[in-house]
Structure 1
Amino acid sequence: MSYQIELFHSLLNDFLQGESALMTIEGDVLAVRGVQAVSYGTLTMAATTATKYLKLQEGDIALLNDPYSGGSLLSDMTFVMAVSEDLIWVSRRSLDKSVKLAKSVEEEGLRIPPTPLRQKNQLNEMILSAMQAHPACPANFVTWLKHQCEDMTVKAKTLHEAIEYTGFTITGELIEEYIDLCRKSSVQKISERASGETRVDVVLDSGELLRLNMEIHDGKVSLDFSGTSAAKTVSLTESATYGVCFYTLSRYYGFEQLANSGSFSVLQITKPAGCWLIGKYPAPTYKGMTCGAAALQTAMELALSQIHQKSEKALSSNCPLNFDLLHQDKHMLLTLPGGVGASASHDGECAHLQSFSIEQLERDFPVKVQRVDLRHSTGGKGKHNGGRGVILKIEAREDIQAAWVTDLTLHRPRISKNCSHGDPCEVSIEHEGTHKVLPVLGQQKFSKGDVVTLCSGSGGGYGKEV
């Protein structure tokens, strides 16, 4: 790798933080970074859509959150900025998240198509006022947007300064060489492993079937989703589907830091018209972007494990448990991640609950936290145990509302004899001496004295217990 290429790669890594991407105005993807699987397809789609309908000049910023234009959750705002005459920067930043169980995307919140937010260094106050007037608009939205624009302007300036400091020019030849190098590296990493083909079926509790046919040959991966059913209540956009597939693939083979047009070329996907992986407006997308994406990731991991049996790994609990507490004008989303599956050489990693203040929770809501710990797993056992999920137990001290969504693949897919399934996510309630397991997703009022137990899923175990 030449010094210029190494310098360019380092510059991309330093600049792209969080969920972000950098592209050329012609549409070449230079790099995508993020921890959300759907970002690897939706960020580039957002840039493509915005630049198609809006003529962005240097310094201009467009805003969108519409899943059908390259957005993800409606609470995630995607900013598309022309950082130069040739480069487009996409940055996704989150507002206050909540559980959305709706029948259409319009009911899930304020949906924003590609919209000119700043032009010629001037914010579009008319559009900002229209957004603020929408009944579904979050509080202090305009103030937050202005702060994001200021932050992006500062960071864009640092990119220009970094390029000037290095003393080299980002030429078309450099970009072409970098993309080709990433393509060759990705092909090599895949070719070093086994080739083969397999089929995996995953059934969602909502009734959808996910059928994945995977073929790996000559450093290329082909995915055919023929046989996948139409949406019932879960729908994922086409760009999000691609993102999840590439995310899982690149991390499995170890080229996630080379996510661009070059490495994208190793993946080919066939999807039948009308299936739930290519949802159409106005289908709701919240469950797709959460539970649906997790189910697709599980199918990908299972297929890769079947083809590469020498590095077989038990399934992880990819879908976190999201529990949204509501009381008066306040809400708080509690997210409990799941455990990681074990392998032939070591136990799976236990889940780590995102830090939150128990004192603040009990101050803002009429609840008492009785327990926060790793759950006692009965599943996921083996020579190497799967990573345990998290348990959170709270008592309602007054009537309180809640909405939740958990893993929608409680109907476990078939796995190899070397592996065992971990425990699924579970929401249960103790009411007046009775214990009841609640549905995998729902919303209801809890009465004073009710004790609600939240358990995220555990990872699967590997090998026979000794």
Structure 2
Amino acid sequence: MSYQIELFHSLLSDFLQGESALLTNEGDVLLLRGNNPVSYDTLVKAARTVTKYLKLNEGEIALLNDPYSGGTTLDEITFIMAVSEDLVWVTRRPMGKYLKIVKSVEEEGLRIPPTPLRQKGQLNEVILGAMSAHPACPPQFTEWIKSQCAEMIVSAQRLHDTIEGTGLSVTGELIEEYVKLSKKLAVQRISEKASGETRVDVVLDSGELLRLSLEIQDGKVVIDFGGTSAAKTLHLTESATYGVCFHAISKFYGFNNYANSGSFSVLQVTKPAGCWLMAKYPASTLKGMTCGVAAVQTAIDLALTFIHSKHEKALNAYTPVMLQLNHGNSQAFLSIEGGQGATAEHDGQSAHIEGLSIETLERRFPVRVQRMDRRNSTGGKGKYSGGRGLIFKIEALEDIEVSWLTDMTLHRPRLPKTCSHGDVSEVTLEKGETAKSLPVLGQQKILKGEVLSLCSGTGGGYGRAETKVD
């Protein structure tokens, strides 16, 4: 790559923090970055939807959280800003996670379609006031929105100053060359590995079938979900589905740092009308954005393992155990991650506990944390073991309302002979000497003295375990 292209890529990478992307006014993606797989197309859809229906001048900002306009779940707000006459910046920021098990997106909370927020240098206080007056509007919503906008304005100015300071001229020719080179890189990375085709079925506990056919040929990847069933309880939007596919493919082949219109063009995804991968309003997308995403990731991982036998890797426990506690006016959301699959070279990485203060939790809620560490079981056995999941046990000191959601792909798909499954997620309710298994999805009151135990999944193992000879 030329110096100008490398500099351009570096500037974009430094600017795009968290879940965010930069596009041209025409809708071409210059670069997209993020850790959430669904970001890799939902951000694009959000930006294109806003620029189609709203005319944003430089410095103006719109927002949305509607999954059917490019959002994910209602607790994440997507901001779209015109950073110049030619460029649009889209970024997604969590407002505070929650878990609401409902059938309609309207029941989840405040749903915001594409809405103008900052125009002619001023925030629209009337619109902010209307949102704040909604019964489901989160506390401190207006203050949080204002702080996010202020931060975006500073960041956009910093981008202008940085580009000006480097002397880089961002022309149409530069953008065209950058996108073309990104596509060339993606094709090259795919072509370096084997070609082939395979099919994988993943059956979900909720009754849905995910059928994936994967073909790799001439540096291109074709994914066909023909045969995938209609929705029963899972709903994943079309843009989220594509995002998960691109994230999995680009990460496997090593071009995820060059996610743009060029590299997007090497992946083709088709889905049958009416299947659960093409959610329709007003279906709730919460379970789809978690359990549905995990099912798609699992299917792609398996398909790639079947085709690229030299790069086999056991399955990750993709779905975390999500728990929400409610008591009076207090609410807390916990996400307990699972372990990663082993490879031909090393054990899988065990899950880590981050961002959870036992002291704060016990101060805010009538609970006592009995245990919070890694599961005893190593799950996937083999020459290399899967990474361990986590166990979290809390005792109710008073009656308390809880909601939980975990892996809905507990039906075990067929694996290569070199791999083994890890432990599944488990949710149990203990009282005295008795323990009752709970479903993977539910909400109920935990009575005083009862103990809720949550175990996240374990990564799969790799290789045959070595036997000792006396």
TM-score bin (small chain): over 0.9
User: Distance between the aligned counterparts of 2:355 and 2:458, measured in 1?
Assistant: 19
**Amino acid corresponding to residue 351 of structure 2 in structure 1:** A
Query: Which residue of structure 2 aligns with residue 360 of structure 1?
Result: 360
TM-score by length of 2: 0.98
Q: How does 1:404-415 map to 2 (within 5 A)?
A: 404-415=404-415
Note if 1:168 corresponds to 2:168.
Answer: yes
Q: How does 1:182-261 map to 2 (within 5 A)?
A: 182-261=182-261
User: Distance between the aligned counterparts of 2:334 and 2:381, measured in 1?
Assistant: 27
Q: Once the two structures are superposed, what CA deviation does each residue of 1:419-462 show, in whole Å capped at 9, x if it has no partner?
A: 11000111111113210110001000001111111110000001
Mapped contact 2:407–2:425 kept (Cα < 8 A): yes
Query: Which residue of structure 2 aligns with residue 68 of structure 1?
Result: 68
Q: Once the two structures are superposed, what CA deviation does each residue of 1:103-131 show, in whole Å capped at 9, x if it has no partner?
A: 11111111100000011111111111110
What RMSD over aligned residues (CA atoms) do the two structures have, in Å? 0.7
Note if 1:121 corresponds to 2:107.
Answer: no
Instruction: Kindly state the Cα deviation for residue 378 of structure 1 after the two structures are TM-superposed.
Output: 5.5
Mapped contact 1:335–1:353 kept (Cα < 8 A): no
User: Distance between the aligned counterparts of 1:290 and 1:87, measured in 2?
Assistant: 31
SS of 1:185's equivalent in the other structure is helix
User: Distance between the aligned counterparts of 1:69 and 1:325, measured in 2?
Assistant: 30
User: Distance between the aligned counterparts of 1:298 and 1:333, measured in 2?
Assistant: 25
Query: Which residue of structure 2 aligns with residue 52 of structure 1?
Result: 52
Query: Which residue of structure 1 aligns with residue 350 of structure 2?
Result: 350
Q: Once the two structures are superposed, what CA deviation does each residue of 1:344-387 show, in whole Å capped at 9, x if it has no partner?
A: 11110000122211111110011111111110126301110000
Mapped contact 2:379–2:388 kept (Cα < 8 A): no
Mapped contact 2:378–2:458 kept (Cα < 8 A): no
Query: Which residue of structure 2 aligns with residue 432 of structure 1?
Result: 432
User: Distance between the aligned counterparts of 1:344 and 1:167, measured in 2?
Assistant: 47
Mapped contact 2:336–2:390 kept (Cα < 8 A): yes
User: Distance between the aligned counterparts of 2:449 and 2:425, measured in 1?
Assistant: 23
Q: Once the two structures are superposed, what CA deviation does each residue of 1:139-185 show, in whole Å capped at 9, x if it has no partner?
A: 11011101111000000000000010010210000000000000000
Q: Once the two structures are superposed, what CA deviation does each residue of 1:231-250 show, in whole Å capped at 9, x if it has no partner?
A: 00100000000000001111
Task: Give runs of ≥4 in structure 1 deviating > 6 Å.
Answer: none
User: Distance between the aligned counterparts of 2:378 and 2:355, measured in 1?
Assistant: 26
User: Distance between the aligned counterparts of 2:316 and 2:346, measured in 1?
Assistant: 14
Query: Which residue of structure 2 aligns with residue 446 of structure 1?
Result: 446
Q: How does 1:11-22 map to 2 (within 5 A)?
A: 11-22=11-22
Q: How does 1:6-155 map to 2 (within 5 A)?
A: 6-155=6-155
**Amino acid corresponding to residue 321 of structure 2 in structure 1:** L
User: Distance between the aligned counterparts of 2:280 and 2:347, measured in 1?
Assistant: 41
Instruction: Kindly state the Cα deviation for residue 88 of structure 1 after the two structures are TM-superposed.
Output: 0.1
Of the structure 1 ranges 258-267 and 354-363, higher mean CA displacement relative to structure 2 is found in: 354-363
User: Distance between the aligned counterparts of 1:64 and 1:167, measured in 2?
Assistant: 35
**Amino acid corresponding to residue 171 of structure 2 in structure 1:** T
**Amino acid corresponding to residue 168 of structure 2 in structure 1:** F
**Amino acid corresponding to residue 266 of structure 2 in structure 1:** V
Instruction: Kindly state the Cα deviation for residue 197 of structure 1 after the two structures are TM-superposed.
Output: 0.2
**Amino acid corresponding to residue 386 of structure 2 in structure 1:** G
Query: Which residue of structure 1 aligns with residue 373 of structure 2?
Result: 373
Q: How does 1:225-374 map to 2 (within 5 A)?
A: 225-374=225-374
TM-score by length of 1: 0.99
Matched length: 466
Of the structure 1 ranges 186-195 and 370-379, higher mean CA displacement relative to structure 2 is found in: 370-379
User: Distance between the aligned counterparts of 1:150 and 1:296, measured in 2?
Assistant: 37
SS of 2:343's equivalent in the other structure is coil
Instruction: Kindly state the Cα deviation for residue 17 of structure 1 after the two structures are TM-superposed.
Output: 0.2
Instruction: Kindly state the Cα deviation for residue 96 of structure 1 after the two structures are TM-superposed.
Output: 1.1
User: Distance between the aligned counterparts of 1:378 and 1:81, measured in 2?
Assistant: 47
User: Distance between the aligned counterparts of 2:203 and 2:99, measured in 1?
Assistant: 22
Mapped contact 2:378–2:385 kept (Cα < 8 A): no
User: Distance between the aligned counterparts of 2:377 and 2:116, measured in 1?
Assistant: 50
Mapped contact 2:22–2:30 kept (Cα < 8 A): yes
**Amino acid corresponding to residue 363 of structure 1 in structure 2:** R
User: Distance between the aligned counterparts of 1:127 and 1:412, measured in 2?
Assistant: 48
Instruction: Kindly state the Cα deviation for residue 65 of structure 1 after the two structures are TM-superposed.
Output: 0.3
